[in-house]
Amino acid sequence: MSTISRDEVARVAALARIELRPEELDRLAGELEVIVQSVAQVSEIVGPDVPATSHPIPLTNVFRDDVPVTPTDRDKVLASAPASEDGKFLVPQILGEE
């Protein structure tokens, strides 16, 4: 027995303001039914002894330690820039704003 009807697909499409043709309603009802059955099948297999996972391989934090360092001298950085003004990089205007 199908759990997703054509009318339900039409109702959700209307809520989302998506216009669907009749053949699309039938096709989507079938596709959504396959998804519902797949989720049900997985739910049958997974029991309380199976931990929830978001990734098949355990991940660990790969960030380096946050160690404070002396910042780069701004004047040295700006000296290698093509143009600077008031201690900032000077770039060409592209939007035509003043």
6-45 under CATH 1.10.20.60, yes or no: yes
- Residues facing residue 84 across a β-bridge: 89
Please give the pLDDT value at position 72.
92
**What is the chain's mean pLDDT, rounded?**
88
Mean pLDDT over 86-98 rounds to 84
Residue extents of the structural domains in the chain: 6-45
Mean pLDDT over 18-23 rounds to 94
Per residue in 35-82, pLDDT (tens digit) is 999 988 888 887 788 777 778 887 788 888 889 999 999 999 999 999
pTM here?
0.47
DSSP for 10-61 reads HHHHHHTT----HHHHHHHHHHHHHHHHHHHHHHHH--TTSPP-SSSS----
Please give the pLDDT value at position 52.
76
